[in-house]
Structure 1
Amino acid sequence: MAIRSLFVTRLYRAALSAHGPAIDPGELEASCLSVAEDDEAGQDWCEANAFPGYTSYASLTDLPWRFPIFADLVKSLDAHVAAFAGDLAFDLGERKLELEDLWINILPEGGTHSGHLHPHSVISGTTYVAMPEGTSAIRFEDPRLPMMMAAPTRRKDAPEELRTFHYETPAVGDVVLWESWLRHEVPMNMTEEDRISVSFNYRWG
């Protein structure tokens, strides 16, 4: 008998510092908070859309220009994404994966980010700036789930690669990457402190 795993879903996790310029976590956190405080358009969008906390996704597209630390962050992310693309065996030809957008997320107590994917990108990811003890992991969903109409649930002791959902609990300074079609969400932040991260998308060419 032979049983193999097919159509594998890869998840990349590394220390941000493994590639690129050294980035001071305290400076990055202060920069995120400063942007959130000054970004009135972003605040208005969050309020109008009942978005918990703050995101710069709908308001700012030039963070690397505004703050040198975000420019350094992009240099590091470029190297991480290139490493992940190599692991995925992507044939990129003469084109490379390029940053499409980069945005700040500040999730307060009680805030959630509901399940979603990033359909116009190739690789998406997040680097973690503030992760208070007990705050939310990021939850990934088996992309085959909509087709499992009659399948029984998995046992609680099922191996990681057979589970329907996977919870990844990053630490401050980690970067997590996944293919953009992979559905993910952030469950409710149950701590009193803000969960801060910087998310991004990379497109091909």
Structure 2
Amino acid sequence: MAQIESLFVTRLYRAQLSEFGPKVDAQELENSCLVIAGDDDAGQNWCEENGYPGYTSYASLTDLPWRFPIFADLVKSLDSHVAAFAKDLEFDLDGRELKLEDLWINILPEGGTHSSHLHPHSVISGTTYVSMPDGASALKLEDPRSARMMAAPTRTKDARRELQPFIYMKPDVGDVLLWESWLRHEVPMNMAEDERISVSFNYKWE
């Protein structure tokens, strides 16, 4: 009898942010993101100069947890989620820890996209979702083997989930998604009339 098993699994973590750590009020977090975006002239200028749709604090603000208590609470919760994911991944951290490297706000307007990318030099990356209006983009994850499938035929439309070349994850407000930082991902066009707001982050090993 032939045996077929799945090898080299790609793990994706999904949970409610509130499962760990101090309670983070969703409305307060959304308001904080909007206020920060409105006041961050350097970030707004960077987005305009680089053709980035909407707003991101990635290139301008590196100390959100220090500036705003709600982001400090957010990091405490994320630390616990990342520790749980690292345990699932069975990492041998050799007595060291996974620590927050950077954390930034994303505000994507109607029609905005975030092209396919990965996060080099980090171990675990992720996003928590602050506002997801009807029609807001899902997160699109790419099979990391894609570049090596040189002569392979395409998969059937109803192929099993673990064989699909792309997976779309539609998060809810308050969800946190985590993945290993080498996993390529993107945000397709936001079809919602309202802004899609999220907070993304990287964790490094040190």
| Coarse TM-score class (shorter-chain normalised) | over 0.9
1:187 partnered with 2:188: yes
Which residue of structure 1 lines up, in the alignment, with residue 171 of structure 2? 170
Counterpart for residue 112 of structure 2? 111
Q: CA deviation at 1:107?
A: 0.1
Q: Which whole-Å CA distance do the structure 1 matches of 2:33 and 2:153 have between them?
A: 43
Moved over 3 A (4+): none
- 2:98 maps to 1:97: yes
Structure 1 length as normaliser, TM-score? 0.99
Q: Secondary structure at the match of 1:196?
A: strand
SS at match of 2:110: coil
Which residue pairs with 1:23 in the alignment?
24
Q: Which residue of 1 aligns with 2:143?
A: 142
State how 1:149-164 maps to structure 2 within 5 Å: 149-164=150-165
Q: Taking every aligned residue pair, what percent have the same amino acid on both sides?
A: 75
| Per-residue CA distance 1:20-50 (angstroms, 9 max, x = gap) | 0001000000000010000000000000000
1:50 maps to 2:51? yes
How many residues align? The count is: 205
Give the CA RMSD over aligned residues: 0.4
Structure-2 separation of matches of 1:116 and 1:136: 16
Distance in 2 (CA, whole Å) between partners of 1:166 and 1:51 is: 24
Aligned-partner Cα distance in 2 for 1:151–1:13: 31
TM-score of the two chains, using structure 2 as the length reference: 0.99
Measured after TM superposition, the shift of residue 176 of structure 1 is: 0.1
Structure 2 partner of 1:125? 126
| CA distance in 2: counterparts of 1:199 and 1:50, whole angstroms | 19
> Which secondary structure state, in structure 2, belongs to the residue aligned with residue 181 of structure 1?
coil
Structure 1 position 204, deviation (Å): 0.1
Specify the SS of the correspondent of 1:52.
coil
Question: Distance between the aligned counterparts of 2:129 and 2:192, measured in 1?
Answer: 16
State the match for 1:69 in structure 2. 70
Consecutive unaligned residues in structure 2, runs of 5 or more: none
Deviation readout 1:83-109 (Å, 9 max, x if unpaired) = 000000000011000000000000000
Aligned partner letter, 1:43 = Q
**Unaligned runs of at least 5 residues, structure 1:** none
Q: Distance in 2 between matches of 1:34 and 1:134?
A: 24
3-state SS of 1:135 partner: coil
